[in-house]
Amino acid sequence: MPATALLSCSRFTPAASTARTAPPTSASATPSQFRGKVVILAFLDSECTTVCPLTSVSMTEAKELLGAAGNRVQLLGVNANPKATAVSDVMAYSLAHSMVNQWQFLTGPAAQLRAVWKAYHIYVQIQAGQIDHTPALYVIDQRGREQKIYLTSMAHASIGQEALVLAQEAASLLPGHPGLASSESLAHISGLSPASPATLSAVPSGSLTLGPGRPHLVLFFTTWLTETSDLRAQLLALRAYAHGSRRGRLPQLTVVDEAASEPSPGAVRAYPAQLGKPLGYPVAVDATGRLADGYGVADQPWYVLTSATGKIVWKHDGWLPVSALETAARKA
């Protein structure tokens, strides 16, 4: 393999069912290496902060649902970032998302990656400095034949459903069609919009409620953002905004962790203790992902300003200095 790092989009929509032989993933890493195993193959941006982390979580959860039969399933990622192609890039993703020893994340020179993208009909382009690629995920049988192709979208609450669909497909291809450790409904999961009260668990304890009644500035984040930004510095800088909000001049700031895409359930509860200083504002946990979906979160970090009537009046993708936040917050 040219580059292998033992390195998770969301509601899955079957795009095709096919039995053609899967094309090679690279010059030295081909499906023949994984004959005898069901392969779940995804194309992911090694620096992605949008749908790719949801995809990799669904992949690992699918394998866990298979129990011991998961040993006959190989998880593979292929880098879809033409600007970050080094082994260190895919390893950084694997480390941030606790995927080391969970999968193999393949990369290589840009020309080699382009050949793989073309073979799998993956569109990759840089637009306004951002990576745009086809969010495709393939299920390949033990003989190296593609059986299903899924296209993924940004839906935090359906990660578990996606994992279930993948696990069911893998089980149908494995000898004896093993049962799954658990199951859940595949019915649509609605989001929780700012118009509805939502009570979340707080860190380290207690709870808090978001929704109508007063304006809120909500920041959605995840601890794996340490891969792409100085998360500690950004969170500590927000103490200045919180100070202003306590004086009644600005909407209260609430920081919400997207637990559904975290590498472990306790990731956010352990992180504040590592900062060395108190944050001075509340941190909550969106355990189901329904709040993120209802607030339209499409990236990390993601700011949402809501009015007292529960309407979204402003949103922003990416970190902002406190002065810009204060200016935006006055719109509420």
Residue 191 included in any domain: no
For residues 11 and 87, membership in a common domain is answered with: yes
CA 169/CA 102 separation, integer angstroms: 19
Q: Which two tokens stand for residue 287?
A: 């355990």
Residue 181 included in any domain: no
pLDDT of residue 30: 62
Residue 180 included in any domain: no
Residue 275 included in any domain: yes
Residue 193 included in any domain: no
CA 263/CA 91 separation, integer angstroms: 15
pLDDT of residue 264: 85
Residue 168 included in any domain: yes
For residues 156 and 55, membership in a common domain is answered with: yes
Looking at residue 316, which CATH number applies to its domain? Answer: 3.40.30.10
Helical ranges in the chain per DSSP H: 52-65, 87-96, 110-119, 159-173, 231-246, 267-270, 290-294, 322-329
For residues 22 and 127, membership in a common domain is answered with: yes
For residues 222 and 307, membership in a common domain is answered with: yes
For residues 119 and 255, membership in a common domain is answered with: no
Beta bridge partners of 40: 75, 139
For residues 51 and 150, membership in a common domain is answered with: yes
pLDDT of residue 285: 96
Return the number of other C-beta atoms located less than 10 Å from residue 212's C-beta.
17
The residue segments making up the domain with residue 122 are 4-173
Residue 190 included in any domain: no
Residue-wise pLDDT tens digits, 233-279: 999 999 999 998 887 789 999 999 999 999 887 888 888 888 989 99
For residues 258 and 318, membership in a common domain is answered with: yes
For residues 166 and 23, membership in a common domain is answered with: yes
Give me the number of domains the chain comprises: 2
Residue 212 included in any domain: yes
Tell me how long the chain is.
332
Name residues of the chain where pLDDT drops below 50.
1-18, 26-27
Return the number of other C-beta atoms located less than 10 Å from residue 77's C-beta.
30
CA-to-CA separations, 247 to 241, 243, 251, 252, in angstroms, rounded = 10, 7, 10, 10
60 backbone dihedrals φ, ψ, rounded to 5°: -70, -40
pLDDT of residue 152: 84
289 backbone dihedrals φ, ψ, rounded to 5°: 85, -5
pLDDT of residue 9: 22
pLDDT of residue 13: 35
CA 295/CA 290 separation, integer angstroms: 9
For residues 225 and 268, membership in a common domain is answered with: yes
